[in-house]
Amino acid sequence: MFGCMLLRWSPYTLELRQPFTTATQSRTATPAMLVEVEHEGLVGHGEAAMPPYLGESQASASAFFAAAAPLLASHRDPFLLEDVLRDSDALAPGNTAAKAAIDIALHDWVGRRLGAPWHRLWGLDPRRTPVTSFTLGIDTPEVVREKARAAGDYRLLKVKLGRDSDRELITAIRSVSSTPLIVDANQGWTDREDALRQIEWLASQDVRLVEQPFARDRLEDTAWLRERSPLPLFADESCQRLSDVPRLAGVFDGINVKLMKCTGLREARAMITVARALNLKVMLGCMTETSCAISAAAQLSPLVDWADLDGALLIRNDPFEGARIVDGKVTLTDLPGIGIVRR
């Protein structure tokens, strides 16, 4: 139908190469939705990746898309991204991954129509992409040693902490690898004196930063820790959307921006700008995702200090090819839009 924007969606299950374990959960698959926006015969691709602990599901996303479809049909011009995405955000609270899927698909459509990738449309230098970390999930010391050995090409490893065996885990990695580490406590620490001692020890193990030491709302304790910590503290669970950023200045040293938390590229870019204005560092992160959402996020990566964009490497059934990790660095392509092709 000429002049109309069509939204299509289908469930997709991301199969993990290895069970993924953090302080709070363990799983072998991630539910996702693949989305297409079609307009004037051209298709843009998007994706919602929904780890269950974040509260979205294929059912909730389907319901959101069913509500968004008439909205997209009524907006006749995908170039009016600001209007379409503002209205999509206003349809219902939450649903940030479903909203991100629409945001990504619209950006992909616009870039494809213009014949240019978004990093070019934003004026970003693809040579300035950051090093990306590769995540080692919580496991036995033997398995973690094996994983650390296998990740030899990466220049930065990320380790999920927040259990009693944290030091054992780091020691196991250090017995086989001298690659710098970043650690993510995933809100798992409770006592601030213990947290400080832990960070002081981690600093002696060439750990470069600590993500989300305490529960998301414990900003006073985080600020106390930051004043004393030899390592920078980054907000993940404490930083979901743009409106969260201002209150994190002076509490954390940086924020972890993820498309699935913040409704997509439009808001992620604004978060990076605001963070910069507040002198906060920026990490660009991800869930387990296909190369669709990863390549979309990668378009922004020349703007950030750190990337944690290994999500597509953790799944075995990626239906797309896009931005890749080469020699530990995010590597963009010249493909238009978000830079993907179907496998």
Residues that bind Mg ion (CB under 5 A): 184, 211, 236
Identify the three-state secondary structure at position 51: coil
Identify the three-state secondary structure at position 259: helix
For residue 324, give the nearest of 338, 309, 314 by alpha carbon.
309
DSSP character for 340?
A: -
CA angle 57, 58, 63 (to 5 degrees): 100
In angstroms, rounded to a whole number, what is the distance separating the alpha carbons of residues 53 and 265?
Answer: 22
**Least distance from C-beta 313 to Mg ion, angstroms?**
17
**Least distance from C-beta 184 to Mg ion, angstroms?**
4
**Least distance from C-beta 260 to Mg ion, angstroms?**
12
What count of other Cβ atoms lies within 10 Å of the Cβ of residue 4?
13
In angstroms, rounded to a whole number, what is the distance separating the alpha carbons of residues 269 and 259?
Answer: 10
**Least distance from C-beta 37 to Mg ion, angstroms?**
29
For residue 296, give the nearest of 106, 76, 22, 84 by alpha carbon.
106
**Least distance from C-beta 166 to Mg ion, angstroms?**
15
β 324-326/329-331 pair status: antiparallel
**Least distance from C-beta 214 to Mg ion, angstroms?**
13
Find the distance separating the first CA and the last CA of the chain, reported in whole Å.
27
Residue nearest to Mg ion (CB): 236
Structure tokens at 135: 């995540």
Task: CB nearer to Mg ion: give 264 or 285.
Answer: 285
Task: CB nearer to Mg ion: give 184 or 318.
Answer: 184
Task: CB nearer to Mg ion: give 109 or 234.
Answer: 234
Task: CB nearer to Mg ion: give 88 or 212.
Answer: 212
**Least distance from C-beta 250 to Mg ion, angstroms?**
21
Task: CB nearer to Mg ion: give 38 or 211.
Answer: 211
Contact yes or no for 50/32 (Cβ under 8 A): yes
Task: CB nearer to Mg ion: give 68 or 239.
Answer: 239
Task: CB nearer to Mg ion: give 34 or 182.
Answer: 182
- Tokens 């387990």 identify what position? 288
